[in-house]
Amino acid sequence: MTTAVLEPPPRIATSDRTRNPVRWLVFAVVVVANMMDLMDATIVNVAGPSIRSALGGSTSTLQWLSAGYTLAFAVFLITGARLGDMFGRRRLFLIGSAGFTLMSAACAAAPTAGVLLACRALQGAFGALMIPQGIGMLKEVFDDDEMGTVFGTFGPLLALSGLAAPILAGVLVEADLWGMAWRLVFLVNVPIGLAAFVGALRVLPRTVSRPGMRLDVTGMVLIGAALTALIYPLIQGQPDGWPAWTFVMIGAGAVLLVVFILWERRRGSASLIEPTLLANRTYVSGILVLLAFFGAFAGLILCVSLFGQLGEGFTPVHAGLTLMATIIGMFVGMIGSSALVARLGRHLLHIGFGLTAVGIAVLALTVSGMHFASTTDLAPGLFLIGLGAGASVGQLFEFIVAGVSMDEVGSASGVLEAVQQLGSALGVAALGTIFFSSFGAHLPTHALAVTTWACLVPVALGFLLVFRLPMHAREAAH
């Protein structure tokens, strides 16, 4: 293959975006990268007990397998987006996809739990360089009136990958091909990552770099220290008996988060986050809704998987099939919401959050008082949770992105993705701690019921925050 073949096409002028012959190939590359990230998180939820059995570790190891990745992802995402603005989104996407693929192979070869967790953190850091470049490149090659179709297609494709991931994880672990068992769940990223890298070389546009920009290193250190100080004690506190240092660390994390916000306001144009975004009511409200939702959703999905394997003795395949009810619900919700959002606007988001709350209540009431619960018992509640998630979150992105200009899109996409990962990490830490606190002293069904009821708090908060959004996404654009 010659260098000329790999040369990307020239950047298309704004007025010609709708005639860009490779815009849907750009879309495909961005989708593959996001599918790889989503599958990696879901696969680890199912494979976690097998990894712990093989490499050892405490219950917190199961949480860190997920939270370590998402924490590193969240910390470096904002920086990754800014670096994309400085040096070009295509370049950062290539570096991120190559590093993500390499770290996936390193995870598969990890000899100990400690090495695996370190590789997972590095995997998240490289993912943070890759993922935030996607939205910016999509907005560059698609015209504004095509973005509704883009996001309407984007969501269901990710839902399909989420549907396949837990089943694939169970099959790979149980098949134990070549005696590799759980290691295969990381190796599966390698061919996907290579495909994303080659596709990026061929079709991604050469975005304009802004080398005159400066990276806010102090802001990066502050946000990294704040998030670590908040999440680390939430995970380690329960197995360590909640010593005083955990509460001191959480308090320090909250203070550092406030200091970070104040610092960003002072930095102006040199900040990690575009100052105009912090004044954009729709954008700020949208990311708060995402933070609340992903905290509830990611934490609950992890706990359901752990409940099945550790509490009920499900095999990895059985655990993956149990999560299918949620993913099927998400897929149905996303498809249906695409047709209704123009008519219902913000009301659709409220309907989605309401369905999620009903699903949470159904799941909690189902397992309360039971000595054991089967996949059939869990399915109705999980389906409703997924249905509500697909109907609301699938359309929420359009509300958030509609009010963002091209000058803001790099920073906006980085913060958006970072908030998802931060919400997931906080949810895994907080809900995982609630689950394991009840798991040893009570029946597994009781632990799941308590954890599920706790999910209602962030879901209710998200429902209320939706009132701060405009009635329709086009109002945000204006």
Assess contact for 131 and 77: CB atoms under 8 A: yes
Q: Do 296 and 455 touch, CB atoms closer than 8 A? A: yes
The mean predicted confidence, pLDDT, of the chain is 81
Q: Which positions ≥6 away from 442 have C-beta within 8 Å?
A: none
What burial letters (b/e) apply to 210-231, b meaning 16+ CB within 10 Å?
eeeeeebeebbebbbbbbbbbb
Note whether 129 and 96 are within 8 A (CB).
yes
At 358, the pLDDT band (50, 70, 90 cuts) reads: very high
Listed range (2-11, 13-22, 27-36, 159-168) with the worst mean pLDDT: 2-11
Q: Average pLDDT, stretch 153-168?
A: 70
| Local structure of residue 372 (DSSP, 8 states) | -
Closest to 423 in 3D by CA, of 378, 469, 464, 462? 462
pLDDT band at 72 (very low <50, low <70, confident <90, very high): confident
pLDDT digits (tens, 9 = 90+) for 278-303: 777 778 888 888 888 888 888 898 88
pLDDT at 181: 81
The pTM score is 0.73
pLDDT at 10: 42
Average pLDDT, integer, range 47-53: 83
Assess contact for 207 and 74: CB atoms under 8 A. Answer: no
Give the lowest-confidence range in 36-40, 65-69, 259-263.
36-40
Domain 21-208+272-477 classification at class level: mainly alpha
Domain locations along the chain: 21-208+272-477, 217-271
Which residues, in sequence order, are CB contacts of 456 under 8 Å at separation 6+? 357, 360, 361
Are 68 and 117 contacting, i.e. CB atoms less than 8 angstroms apart?
A: yes
Beta carbons within 10 angstroms of residue 284's beta carbon: 16
pLDDT band for 212, please (50, 70, 90 cuts): low
Separation of alpha carbons 131 and 93, rounded Å: 7
What tokens does 446 get? Answer: 């009781």
Contact yes or no for 239/59 (Cβ under 8 A): yes
Identify the residue whose tokens are 């490779």: 22
Give residue-wise pLDDT tens across range 301-325: 888 988 988 888 888 888 888 888 9
Q: Cα 31 to chain center, whole Å?
A: 14
> How far is Cα 82 from Cα 412, in angstroms, rounded to an integer?
10
pLDDT bracket for residue 407 (50, 70, 90): low
Position 159 scores a pLDDT of 61
Q: How confident is the model at residue 13 (pLDDT cuts 50, 70, 90)?
A: very low
Q: Does the pLDDT value for residue 17 go beyond 70?
A: no
Instruction: Please report how the helices 147-175 and 316-344 are oriented relative to each other, as an axis angle in degrees rounded to 10.
Output: 170
Mean pLDDT of 49-72: 81
